[in-house]
Amino acid sequence: MEILLYIAAIIVAVAFAVLVVYLAKTLKAAQRTMNNVANTMESMEKQMEGITTETTSLLTKTNKLADDVNQKSEKLNSLFDSVQGVGTTVSDFNQTLQQLTNRIDKTAAKNQDKTSQAVKWGVAMMDLWRKRKK
């Protein structure tokens, strides 16, 4: 019976040794996996730093571009204001010309007889001058 106890103890010791060996292999595999994860995380951290730098640079350029667009837009606004002023001036000038044309038409209609006589006298004077010149 003692022998059975020794055999049982040996079986338990062998089983424990096998368990320890497999447990050691599992822990080594887990350690390799954790090292790979740590390396991957370091690589990602470096890439994220690069992305952050690029993003910051892009945002800076975008802000400069937006400022430039705003400045040019303000310059265009003053140009449009000037063009609007020119348009108003031209419109006022056209209105004044129209009023002058209307007055001339009214005056010509009132003095049509006198105008006709003046034209006839002008033609006669031109004929006389031409004859005299020859």
CA atoms of 41 and 26, how far apart (whole Å): 22
Give residue 26's pLDDT: 97
115 contact partners, CB below 8 Å, separation of at least 6: 108
Mean pLDDT value across residues 80-85 = 79
pLDDT (0 to 100) of residue 27: 97
- b/e sequence 82-97, b meaning 16+ C-beta within 10 Å: eeeeeeeeeeeeeeee
Per-residue pLDDT, averaged over 93-113, amounts to 81
Tens of pLDDT, residue by residue over 6-44, are 999 999 999 999 999 999 999 999 999 999 999 999 999
Q: What percentage of residues in the chain have a pLDDT greater than 90?
A: 49
